[in-house]
Amino acid sequence: MAYELEARERAHRRADEGGERRRVAAPGVPEHRRPVVQDLGDGYVRVYVWELPVRVWHWINAFSIFTLFATGVYIGNPFVFPVPLIPGEAANFFMGWVRIVHFITGFVFAVAWVGRLYWLIWGNRYAAENPFTKEFWSGMWETLKFYLFLPNRKRHYVGHNPLAMFSYYALGVMSLIMVLTGFFMLFEPQLDTTWGKLVSWQFKVFGDAFTIRSIHHVVAWLIMIFVMVHVYMAIRDDFMERSGTLSSIFTGWKTAPKEAVAEELGRKLDVPVETSEALRN
φ and ψ at residue 159, rounded to 5 degrees? -90, -135
**CA within 13 Å, CB half, 102:** 21
Is residue 279 within 8 Å of 60, Cβ to Cβ?
no
Instruction: Report, at the CATH architecture level, how domain 52-264 is classified.
Output: Up-down Bundle (1.20)
Tens digits of residue pLDDT in 87-133: 666 667 888 899 999 999 999 999 999 999 999 888 888 888 888 88
Distance in angstroms (rounded) separating the CA atoms of residues 65 and 227: 9
Q: Is the pLDDT of residue 28 over 70?
A: no
Residue-by-residue DSSP string for 33-97: GSPEEEEEETTEEEEE-S-HHHHHHHHHHHHHHHHHHHHHHHHHS--SSPPPSS----S--HHHH
pLDDT given for residue 275 in this prediction: 36
Distance in angstroms (rounded) separating the CA atoms of residues 261 and 169: 24
Rounded to two decimals, the pTM is 0.78
Q: Is the pLDDT of residue 221 over 60?
A: yes
Averaged pLDDT of the chain: 81
Number of other CB atoms surrounding residue 185 within 10 Å: 17
**CA within 13 Å, CB half, 184:** 24
What three-state secondary structure class fits 150? Answer: coil
pLDDT given for residue 82 in this prediction: 65
Segments making up each domain of the chain, as ranges: 2-39+271-279, 52-264
Tens digits of residue pLDDT in 232-252: 999 988 888 778 889 999 999
Tens digits of residue pLDDT in 131-149: 888 989 999 999 999 999 9
pLDDT given for residue 85 in this prediction: 60
Q: Is the pLDDT of residue 215 over 80?
A: yes
Is residue 170 within 8 Å of 191, Cβ to Cβ?
no
Range of 32-36, 109-113, 237-241, 259-263 with top mean pLDDT: 109-113
Lowest mean pLDDT among 81-95, 163-177, 230-244: 81-95
Angle, helix 94-122 to helix 162-187, in steps of 10 degrees: 140
Closest CA to 53 of 103, 122, 7: 122
Q: What is the CA radius of gyration of the chain?
A: 24
Q: Which amino acid is at 199?
A: V
Q: Is the pLDDT of residue 259 over 60?
A: yes
- Share of residues in the chain with pLDDT > 90 (%): 43
**CA within 13 Å, CB half, 274:** 3
Which position has the higher pLDDT, 50 or 94? 50
Is residue 181 within 8 Å of 173, Cβ to Cβ?
no
pLDDT-derived band of residue 20, with 50, 70 and 90 as boundaries?
Answer: very low
pLDDT given for residue 87 in this prediction: 64
Distance in angstroms (rounded) separating the CA atoms of residues 181 and 214: 10
